[in-house]
Amino acid sequence: MLFNLVRRSVVVCVVALLAALAASIAAAEFEETPSQVNLLPKYRQECAACHIAYPPGMLPAASWQRILGNLQHHFGTDASLDADSVRQISTWLAANSATDATAHAAPPEDRITRSSWFRQEHAEVPAAAWKRPMIKSASNCAACHTRAEQGNFNEHFIRLPQ
Contact partners, residue 68, CB within 8 Å, separation at least 6: 86, 89, 90, 93
**DSSP letter, residue 158:** B
- Looking at residues 15 to 34 of the shown chain, list those that interact with ligand HEC (rule: CB under 6 A): 32-33
Give least dist CB 73 to ligand HEC, A.
Answer: 11
- For ligand HEC, the closer CB: 20 or 95: 95
Report if residue 149 touches ligand HEC, rule: CB under 6 A: no
Type of residue numbered 62: A
Q: x/- contact string, 97-126, with ligand HEC (CB under 6 A)?
A: --------------xxx-------xx-xx-
Check binding of 50 to ligand HEC (CB under 6 A): yes
Among 65, 88, 139, 150, binds ligand HEC (CB under 6 A): 139
Cα–Cα distance list, 73 to 38, 63, 98, 112, 137 (Å): 27, 14, 23, 17, 19
Nearer to ligand HEC, 4 or 162 (CB): 162
- Distance between CA atoms of residues 9 and 95, nearest Å: 41
d(CA 39, CA 29): 19
Q: How many helices (H) and strands (E) does the chain have?
A: 6, 0
Does 158 bind ligand HEC (CB under 6 A)? Our answer is yes
Q: Which residues bind ligand HEC (CB under 6 A)?
A: 32-33, 46-47, 49-51, 54, 58, 67, 71, 74-77, 79, 89, 111-113, 121-122, 124-125, 129-130, 135, 137-141, 143-145, 153-155, 158, 160
